[in-house]
Every structure is written in structure tokens, then in C-alpha cells.
Amino acid sequence: MRWTSSVRNFFLMPAVIWVLVFTIFPLGYSLYAAFHNVTNETIVNRMEVPRLDKAGEPVLRPDGTPRMKTEVVRETVTKWEFVGLDNFKRLFTDTVLHEAIKVTAIFVGVGLAIQMTLGLALAMLFNRDMPGRSLLRTIMILPIFTTPVAAGYLFFTIFYEEGGPLGWTGIPWLSNPSWALFSVIVVDVWQWTPFCFLVFLAALQGIPDELLEAVKLDTNSNWTTFREVLLPLLMPTIVIVLLLRFAEAMKVFDIVASLTVGGPGNATQSLSYLAFRTGLRFFDVGYASAIAYTLLALVMVVVTILFKRIRTIYA
């Protein structure tokens, strides 16, 4: 049976509506906001009306006059003042934003490097017969299922410097700017290394045994095998994992909000957290949108490069 175009459109409709409502509209709205100074004004009209009892009769005061109550009629007006590129110009002079970009870059760079390396190493380790492998693998991936906010609060107690489980180290986990950023990275590594591990392990298990046995005829060196055979075979998977993790890590918010609230100072304030605070704490919606677009632009540039890399690898 051949489907008519209207049937095909019907089945495509939910996806189209989803993309329009949850992707295209917010994108367009925030782009529009980025060129405006957005303010809300609520106009409230209040009317005094008699208070009625259950029988619908006016409730009277002792002096016989009716008791009144207030009825409110409200209208909220959103004002859009066009400011051209002002919000984007601010991006170049805002030192707090520059600090947030630096923090996000360090978080993503260091965090991803550790997660990818550790995930790959663990995958190599688990890609062989060993007692209790299934159980260990299950335990390994548990952090993925933790809500990031909960992970943040959990590590807040672990990093607690006065009597916490790691207090004996004497490390200022949360009170020193550099250590605090490292602590945020540690939580992210704890949560997402298992994801890298899981995907790498699946990729490793997809490599035919015959191929590895053939390699053994040429070399006994594990390093050579890894570098010359496994790594090239794993490269598409590595790039995909890197891409997914990069896009996710650039948006880091929950761990920062629950573990450090961006501090000390702004030492752990990520771009997402700054955008959130600018828009929803100070209600500077236009500038928050400009920050969000900066984040989007940064992600797009790197993702485009990674996609090109994927195409090259597959080619």
C-alpha cells in the first residue's frame, strides 16, 4: 500500500509541532528578545464589592453596613524596546561573562579529557573475561541515573571541609576558587565517565575477534595494537561521544547551582548559570538571551568542526 501525502503529513505532524513549539519558537523568541530591552508592567484595577455569605446575602457589620471585599482585575503588558545590537555589544565589555566563558571552557576541556580517557581505559579493562564483570559493570553505570542536582548536594556533603568524609585531606574543596572548579569537574566526571565507558565498551565489543587475532600475528605490543588498530576503529565512536558530551557539558547548570552556586566569587559560574541568573534573577531578559546565543554559537562552532571530522573519518 502506498501512503498518500496527506497520511504522511499527518504522521509527521507531531514531530513538526514539537520542533516548532519547543525549538523554533524559543529560538526565535530569544533572538527577538536579544535585540530588545524587555520589561513587564502589570496594571491592576481593584474593586470593592460586598462580601456574601453562603446564602448569597451580603455580610453586614455590627453597624449594618455591608462588609466589603476586593476583586482584582489585572493585565500584564510586556514592553519591547528595540535596542539594536546593544545587548551584543555588552558581551565584549562584560568581565563577568568573560570569566564565565573561561570557567566553562576549563570545565568542558578538563572534564571531557578526564571522562574520555578514563571511560576508554575502563572499557579496555572490562573488555575481557573477569569474575563478576556484569555486576561491576552495572555498579559502574549507576551514577548516570543520578539527578545532577542530587549529585551536587551529595558531593556538597562529601566535600564539606569541616568534618566531611574528605575533610581529613585538608583540601579546600569548596572554599578555594581553583579547587572549587576542580570539585565541580569531579562531580561531572563521576557522573558521566560511566556513559563514556558504556559506549566505548559497546564499540570495543563490536570489533571482530578475528581481526584482533590477525593483529596478534603481526605484533605482540598492546600499545601498538591500541594505537594502530583499536583507536582508528574506535574513532567514530570517540567523536560521537565527544560531541554528545561536549554539547551537554557546555550547558552545565545543575551541579554548579547545587554545589557551589557559582562561587567562591564567580570561580565556578558557568555560562548557563550566568544566563539563568541574568534572565531570571535580574530580569534582564534581552541580555540573558544574548548570552544564551553566545553559548549557542560556541557550541555550534565546535559541533560543526566535530561533524566535519566525523564525515572525514567515514569518508
Residues that bind other proteins (CB under 8 A): 40-42, 44, 46, 54, 62, 67, 69-72, 74-76, 95-96, 160-162, 172, 174-177, 180, 260-267, 269, 277, 280-284
Q: How far is the CB of 60 from other proteins (least distance, A)?
A: 12
Q: How far is the CB of 174 from other proteins (least distance, A)?
A: 4
Nearer to other proteins, 145 or 168 (CB): 168
DSSP character for 62?
Answer: T
Q: How far is the CB of 166 from other proteins (least distance, A)?
A: 12
Which residue is it, cell 551584543?
88
Q: How far is the CB of 50 from other proteins (least distance, A)?
A: 13
Q: In degrees rounded to 5, what are phi and psi of residue 42?
A: -105, 125
Nearer to other proteins, 98 or 308 (CB): 98
Q: How far is the CB of 171 from other proteins (least distance, A)?
A: 10
Question: Of 53, 83, 82, 80, which is closest to residue 69 (Cα–Cα)?
Answer: 53
Nearer to other proteins, 46 or 128 (CB): 46
Nearer to other proteins, 43 or 315 (CB): 43
Question: Of 261, 244, 256, 229, which is closest to residue 307 (Cα–Cα)?
Answer: 244
Question: Of 145, 117, 111, 114, which is closest to residue 238 (Cα–Cα)?
Answer: 117
Compute the distance between CA of residue 239 and CA of residue 86 in angstroms, rounded to an integer: 37
Nearer to other proteins, 1 or 44 (CB): 44
Compute the distance between CA of residue 159 and CA of residue 165 in angstroms, rounded to an integer: 7
Compute the distance between CA of residue 176 and CA of residue 263 in angstroms, rounded to an integer: 9
Question: What's the first-to-final CA gap in the chain, in angstroms?
Answer: 36
